[in-house]
Amino acid sequence: MTANLPDPKKDGRYSARRLVLLGTTILSLGAAAAIVAPNVNPSAALAQNVTQQAQTVARPTGFADIVEKVKPAVISVRVKKDATPQLSMDDGDNPFAPGSPFERFFRRFGSPDNMPNIPNMPRSPRGRFASGQGSGFFISADGYAVTNNHVVDKAEEVEVQTDDGKIYQAKVIGTDPRTDLALIKVDGKNFPFAKLAENAPRIGDWVLAVGNPFGLGGTVTAGIVSARGRDIGAGPYDDFIQIDAPVNKGNSGGPTFDIDGHVVGVNTAIFSPSGGNVGIAFAIPASTVNTVVTQLREKGSVTRGWIGVQIQPVTQDIADSLGLKKAEGALVAEPQAKSPAAKAGIEAGDVIIAVNGEEIKNARDLARKIGSMSPGTSAKVTLLRKGTEKTVTLTLGELPAAREARASATPEDRDGTSALPRFGMQLAPAGSVAGASSEGVVVTSVEPDGLAAELGFKAGDVIVEVGGVAVKSPADVRKSFTEARDAGKRTVLVRVKSGEGMRFVAAPLARG
C-alpha cells in the first residue's frame, strides 16, 4: 500500500506542518511512556535513543590503528652533559650561536640550557651536570636507534626509555653535525622498530609526529606536509620537510610517520619567535637519514664527496651578466688550489648545470648532490663557460673538516684612493694598502646608504675582476664599467675577494 502524502508543490506548508507533527508525536510518546512506566525518566530514554542512533552513524577515520602499531618503536632519550662553560659549543662551529640567523628564527628541541628563551634544564645538586631530553626511534630489532646530534652532543651519559617504561643505557655509535643526526645503540633484542620510507611524502599528505615533548613521553600529534626542500640556514645540506603537526621542545629526534607507518622524517627544528609551537616544524627527510645512518653504522662517521669549489647562487642579475637564459645552476666563485675541480680545469665564472646528467638548479643542489656521493667516485660535471656548454670528468675527494672563516682586518683609507660616486665606495690599488696583497683593487670605504652597501660590498673587500677582466687600479674598474655600459649591458659581473672567500656580485649599470 502506498501512503497518500500531500504534494509539497501544492501545499507549501507541508514541511513546516510535518516538523510540527513529528514534534507532537515525540511529546505524545513521552507522555504515553510516562503513563505506562511512571518510574522511567523521559529525558534518560531520549538520551539513550540518541546514543543508539549515533552508534549507527559512520565514524570519521582516525589514526588510532596506526599509532598502536608505530608508537612502541619510539623512545625517550635522556642525557647528562657536563655543564661547565668551557665545554659549550664554539660559536664558530655552532649554527645556533647567539646572534646567528638560525638562532634568531629557530629553536631546537632538547636544546642546551644556555639557549635564549628556553627554560633552564634541571641540574644535579652539585651543579656539574645539566640534563636534557629528546626523542628517538629504533631502526632495528637489535637496538640501533636514531636521534638528533644536538640531543646527544657531548653527552656524558645517555639512557633511553621505551614505550613500555623500561630503561636502558645507550652508547653513541656516531654523529653527523652537518645533518644533525646521531646513531645510538642499546643492548638487547626483539625491540619493535620502524622502517624508513622509500618515497618522499607529497605536500598535503597526512603525517604523525611522535615524541617526548617536555618530558611527557609518548605524545602523538597529527598534521600535514606543508612544504618540501626547505632551506632554513642550518647548513649546506638543508633539505627539510616542513610539517604543521604540533611539536615542541623534547620532540627533537623523534619520527614523523606517514599513514602507512613509515618514517618520512626526523623532527629537528621549529620556527618559533616566542619559543613555543606555532605549527611550523622541520624534519630531516628519510632519504638523508638512510644515507647518514648507514655510514654511521658501518664506520661511526660520515664522509662526503668534495670537488673543491667555492660556489654561489646564480641570481637573475648574474644570469644577465653571463648571458644565461635562466637563473639556474651553481656559479663557481673560485676553485681551490689542487682540488679535483682545479685539476679537471674548472674555472672561476663557470656555471655548473648538471652532475652525472642530473640537473643542478642552484648552489644548494650542487652541495647536496656532491655531498651524497662517496669520495673516490668518478663524476661528470656539465658546465657553461662563456655561453658554451662543456663536460669534464673528475674524481671526488673527501670533504675536509670544516674550517672557521675569519674576516680580514679592515684597511685604513690612504692617499690616492679613488671614488666611485655612483656606487658609494672608495677604491685604492691593493699594493698601496697596508696588509693587502698586490692583486686587485681594495674597497677602502663604503657609504652605508649607497648602492655598494646594498650589493654587500664592505671595506676590505678586494675587486679582482670586472666583466671577466682583471683589474689593478681604480681606473681599470671605471673603464670596465664604462665598456660594459657602452656595450648595452644592464649589469656587469664583479669578482670580489673577502675574508669569507671569493664571490661574484652582479652590479647594475643603469643606476647612478
In this predicted model, what pLDDT tens digit does every residue of 271-293 receive, in sequence order? 766 666 677 889 999 999 999 99
Judgement on whether residues 290 and 371 belong to the same structural domain of the protein: no
Judgement on whether residues 254 and 192 belong to the same structural domain of the protein: yes
pTM of model > 0.85: no
Total domain count, the chain: 3
Judgement on whether residues 275 and 318 belong to the same structural domain of the protein: no
pLDDT of 301 > 80? The answer is: yes
Judgement on whether residues 118 and 210 belong to the same structural domain of the protein: yes
- What would the pLDDT profile of 379-420 be if each residue is shown by its tens digit? 999 999 988 999 999 999 988 754 322 222 333 333 345 666
Separation of alpha carbons 174 and 170, rounded Å: 12
- pLDDT > 70: percent of the chain: 70
Mean pLDDT along residues 260-271:
90
Q: What's 487's domain CATH number?
A: 2.30.42.10
If one compares 119 and 240, the residue with the highest pLDDT of the two is 240
Contact assessment for residue 201 and residue 225, using Cβ atoms and an 8 Å cutoff:
yes
- What would the pLDDT profile of 227-244 be if each residue is shown by its tens digit? 998 877 666 677 899 999
pLDDT of 31 > 70? The answer is: no
Mean pLDDT along residues 422-446:
74
If one compares 96 and 340, the residue with the highest pLDDT of the two is 340
Chain centroid to Cα 84, Å, comes to 30
Which pLDDT score is estimated for 48?
60
Separation of alpha carbons 46 and 331, rounded Å: 74
Q: Which residues pair with 331 in a beta bridge?
A: 312, 351
Residues marked active site are found at: 150, 180, 252
Separation of alpha carbons 281 and 112, rounded Å: 19
Separation of alpha carbons 491 and 484, rounded Å: 8
Which pLDDT score is estimated for 410?
32
Judgement on whether residues 73 and 185 belong to the same structural domain of the protein: yes
Judgement on whether residues 164 and 291 belong to the same structural domain of the protein: yes
Domain-located, residue 24:
no
pLDDT of 323 > 60? The answer is: yes
Which pLDDT score is estimated for 26?
35
Q: Which of 337, 370, 398 is the last residue of a domain?
A: 398
Separation of alpha carbons 135 and 146, rounded Å: 9
If one compares 147 and 428, the residue with the highest pLDDT of the two is 147
Domain range enclosing 484: 418-508
Q: Which three cell numbers stand for residue 433?
A: 694598502
Judgement on whether residues 260 and 144 belong to the same structural domain of the protein: yes
Radius of gyration from C-alpha coordinates of the chain: 32
Q: What's 260's domain CATH number?
A: 2.40.10.120
pLDDT of 95 > 60? The answer is: no
Judgement on whether residues 383 and 258 belong to the same structural domain of the protein: no
Which pLDDT score is estimated for 61?
75
